[in-house]
Chain A
């Protein structure tokens, strides 16, 4: 029940509610807990409420961080090269 998912805002239906697309399923959610959400934003949805906006730049940076090789592996690379 803690599980929550990122979903894209497709349509605003009132100041406090919106339709999101969850992998093809359209669902009405409440925006009562977030501010300045617009169409195209991704939000984290939990029990029918948007909890927080998702920051696309931070998401990119996190993915880039996953891709970084450990410093140790560089060092070991050097050792074997030498």
Chain B
């Protein structure tokens, strides 16, 4: 397909890889974090690490919306779905997230709750129109990319005068999470994760633009290169980061100019600003409470806010003890450091959230990276 195939070309990949090898300074190492789950997926799926010299380390960041939703909020969603008369609509990835007692939305559905998997937020409006006797709740999650579609349906619900539609809002913000990782006490104290630079998200940036990262590059003196999701985009971004680091620069650069403008998508931003406002703080799985890192529905739209319509208690549930998702999301550990990776915890039977979505670090590593490393070990032995 156009704009996909040419960005996966093998010959070009080898060319960029050769440039990376030439330019990477052998006397130092480079620790680069890809924030976004889409990049984690691309890096694992296309074996990009195989093409990089050993002194370049890719660290998976917390940019998978399924992985960062705290279990308490999943528990809230399960309780909502169990409320008589409620239809809960959710993106498919959410259904398998396990909660503390081994429940999930999928199991709740099997027990009889009316939970509908939707591809698009637009589907939720149709469901509300077709089921006037039910309360339809949309479990909204995701970063800046999925927030504008949620804003659109809230405005549509208002225009249509729907009285049986609300949104359980769990939208989170990328730049505050990146800052939080850099300020995190684990990262500072242990010093285990020297992060040298970031690959900035692709589609989040189509919406927010490249400007929001400027503060961050300046404040923390870390280069950011925004990259598209195709493997060549990621490799070129790695090369651009290496160049910046070699030259001692810490700037925001944009590799994904075909879709990211400095100011992003103004129309989408205005819709979001109209419907949502900042939460003072929000819990992220793996990161804990992060100030001003999430959105809630403005009071003008309170009638479409599930948190206003229903009693939703704030529940905080700790992760399974064995699960290292928290450390993995901060870049302190890798999936294979988890004792139950690939044995007790697999994509078929996930224990932690990083194993649920194909963008989660553990699931991506399980699907694409696990055998490669085992083989490499064997060859070394």
- CB of B207 closer than 8 Å to a CB of A: yes
Selected from A6, A32, A70, A76, the residue in CB contact (under 8 A) with B4 is A6
Binding site for B on A (CB under 8 A): 1-6, 8, 22-23, 30, 32-35, 42, 44, 46-49, 51-56, 58-59, 61-63, 65-70, 72-73, 76
Query: CB within 8 Å of A: which residues of B?
Result: 1-4, 6-7, 12, 15-16, 18-19, 22-23, 36-38, 41, 63-66, 91-93, 119-123, 142-143, 145-146, 148-149, 152, 201-204, 206-207, 228-229, 232-233, 236, 255-261, 265, 267-268, 271, 357, 359
The residue that B18 contacts in the complex, of A4, A5, A6, A73, with Cβ under 8 A, is A73
A48's partner among B6, B121, B259 (CB-CB below 8 A) is B121
In the complex, chain A residues whose CB is within 8 Å of the CB of B7 = 63
B267 contacts A33, C-beta separation under 8 Å: yes
**Are A3 and B359 in contact, CB atoms less than 8 angstroms apart?**
yes
CB distance from A36 to the nearest CB of B (A): 10
Across the two chains, which residue of chain B brings its CB closest to A53? B259
Contact (Cβ within 8 A) B152 A2:
no
In contact, A65 and B119 (Cβ under 8 angstroms): no
Question: Who on chain B is nearest to A7 by CB?
Answer: B1
Interchain nearest-CB distance for A51 vs B (Å): 5
How many angstroms between the C-alpha atoms of A6 and B258 in the bound complex? 11
Contact B119 A48 (CB under 8 A): yes
Q: Which residues of B contact A66 (CB under 8 A)?
A: 12, 15-16, 232, 236
Known pairs A42-B2, A46-B203, A70-B18 / 4 extra A-B pairs, C-beta < 8 Å? A2-B359, A33-B152, A56-B258, A63-B6
Chain A CB within 10 Å, residue with most, of B255, B265, B271? B265
Residue B258 contacts which of A30, A32, A51, A58 (CB distance < 8 angstroms)? Answer: A58
Are A52 and B265 interface neighbours, CB within 8 A?
yes
9 contacts between A and B (CB under 8 A): A1-B359, A2-B145, A4-B203, A33-B268, A49-B148, A52-B206, A52-B260, A62-B233, A68-B19
Cβ distance B337 to chain A, nearest Cβ, rounded Å: 24
B19 surroundings in chain A (CB, below 8 A)? 68-70, 72-73
Contacting pair A34 B265 (CB below 8 A): yes
Known: A5-B4, A72-B23. A30 touches B63 (CB 8 A): no
B3, B7, B16 interface centre (most CB from chain A within 10 Å): B3
Closest to A60 in B: B258
A58–B256 Cα gap in the complex (Å)? Answer: 9
Which residue of A has the minimal Cβ distance to B266?
A: A35
